[in-house]
Structure 1
Amino acid sequence: MEPWRHRPRDPMGWISPETFFFHFPSLRYAFGRNSCYLCFQVEREGEGHSSYDWGVFQNKVYFEAPYHAEFCFLSWFCDQDLSPDEHYHVTWFLSWSPCPTCAEEVVRFLREYRNVTLSIFTARLYYFWRPDFQDGLYRLWSAGVHLDVMSFEDYEYCWDTFVDHNGMRFQSRDLLRDNDFLATELENILRTTMNPLQQEIFFYQFGNQPRAPKPYHRRKTYLCYQLKPHDGSVTAKACLQNKKKRHAEIRFIDSIMALKLEKDQRFEITCYVTWSPCPTCAKELVAFARKHSHISLRLFASRLYFHWLQENKQGLKQLHASGIPVAVMSSLEFEDCWREFVDNQGKPFQPWNKLEQYSKNITRRLRKILKQQPQNDLENEFRNLHL
């Protein structure tokens, strides 16, 4: 019998502010914090309806064996009359990342329940220096689990959703003390680049809907690029995410610089980004393009980053003026990104509802910023360059 099949119990509704601030700080070493808290939300989607559950589990210790928070959740979840005709998206916010045993059982659970997807955001990494714990995290990621270290936005979301704060505003205090270090460690464990992208991440992060679909998480910056010599085949490609204090665009520049491309040969790079570049990244991309005239760069963005702010508009104008083509992703680019960068398992790209309508709306907004008039023929030529 699987460990989660016995002793189902109901979750807690809330945790206190004191519990949250003591057990959830992002610390490299957290002595005296032996309890693990698992804050969860479950979105159930079926024919014409959806529902939402949330709660908190804490690990329990019995005489026979410890009963970890992950097992508590699985026991409760399997007792909810799951339907094979519905899809369940589960999100965990953990004070400690899963141990190897929990990781193995979660992977086994996901293999049995193919209609369940899981995202894990953790405050700390449990024994991250031990190979068996590293292997457990990697196995979760390989099984399709989205893994990340909790960001400021994740902490704020947990505070609003799971903490009995009595109207007190969220203050980060020292919650993010070692966040950068832990994010780097997790990235190293998961092999620094995310190739290929998981399907769930692609649809959520690259979706061009005006509002993020449920469950409501921050849509982050992902940059997928492929490089090829002029009139040649692709020689390098990768997908990068923002790393703490270092945006994906800057990491992209670092990656290309590290290749030491021959200056007497021409290269072409196509980038697909979830958000258009911020002003700082736009400036760096312009400087990169000017310094490396033998590299032709073009950008396709799914969404425009705070397009109403003047500094962001100016960044887009600088890119355009420097000769770096910036366009909005249409179904053609989404399909290419799906084919080249996603673990699609041979499935064709399935557009989401109103994809083209959203794309056209964003394109009109970009043209207004750049003061361009619609030029369908020119745009079609640009898209058909086959770089």
Structure 2
Amino acid sequence: MQRQRRRGPRARPRQHFTPVPWPRNPMRWLSLDYFYFHFTNWPNPKGRNGCYLCYQVKRTQEGLSWDVGTGVFENEFYPKKPVHTEICFLNWFKTQQAFLAQNLSREENYHVTWFMSWSPCFQCARQVVAFLRDHKHVQLSIFAARLYYSRSPQYQQGLRSLQGAGAQVAIMTPADFAFCWDIFVDDPLRPFRYWKGIYINSCSLSKSLEDILRSSVVVAKEWTAEMQQQHRNQDLTPVPRPRPRIKPKTFDFNFQNIDSYGRKSTFLCFKVERWENGSFLGYQKGVFRNQLYSDHAELCFLDWFCDVVLSPDEIPCPDVQYRVTWYISWSPCFECAEQVAHFLKENRNVDLCISAARLYYENEDVQGLRDLVDAGAQVAMMAPEDFKYCWDNFVYHWGWRFNYWNNICQNSYYILQEKLDEILWD
């Protein structure tokens, strides 16, 4: 007897329709039409804005394995903030009784398999990596029909981080599509129809993913070689020295928070305060610029700070507390942010506050800003009073007063600060 057809996912809410809370996740089945539409592995399909995740959970104990459950998740859009399918699964999985009971006994393991219409975004990848690190007894395999923003270094790094956390990351093969059809589609009595190009597209996407995952090894080797070369040349490279001030035109052009056109240099105005007699007292100040030396302005400051402040006369001063403030024309890039974060973790006696005139947040630089905050740095956008402070203390102004440019606050500072808040806290 033919099985009664089940209802597929709900269509988009109609106009004047009040949406209700998302009660369906997880769903047991995915409709035939939805599967063909969302899981087709064309490289650049149109209209596939949602993401579907078909999961299979297996439980292993003393060499024996059995299925715990299967189902389908989709993105949640209301009534609150949108939640991607990966996070929906993790939130659900952590509430299951079998999983909660397993936390009391380390003799059991879980093997979770995801079949996804899109590969994870970098934000979801970060949360999945954190989950895997906290739950060593969970193994994850991810098979994606398509790659999401595969040319973006930020999304590529998300896939590499998943692999680094122990997850298997691969592209769905024709056999995987047929398996999903048999297990997760509403009408299994109808045979699965392979679409045109399914094999070629799968091979092409697998090659792209292989290049993405392999590049992490290449980057690591290049980074190691670069660090070794820097170490060999360390004694030959003079420690950069800051300039006391900059010219008014240089400050006006490079620190304006309105237009970034032509502003390729980074200027860093710094103030170092030292704890003495129960309070912080002014100790050093100056300005660094990235193009005067081989390193960026942030790394020039670190070289100078370690040589002049932390270890004068080659005598380390780990017990002295320092408070460092940066006023920088561009927020740090990813590489500089990672090195500054490492410096802060190694030197707990140094507090750093960064105020940037403009945001440099292309690609993975967003993650660098988050790593700075995680390392204890305070990161914010320069307010109008910060620009005046820099003019008074780091510019040869010859008695001229600082002139606020148009829209310095409403159309620039507030917008940039809101964007930074989204980067750091969303």
Which TM class, normalised by the smaller chain length? 0.3 to 0.5
Instruction: Flag the structure with more relative contact order, 1 or 2, with Cα contacts below 8 A and sequence separation at least 6.
Output: 1
Q: What is the TM-score with the length of structure 1 in the denominator? A: 0.46
Q: Normalising by structure 2, report the TM-score.
A: 0.42
Larger Rg: 2
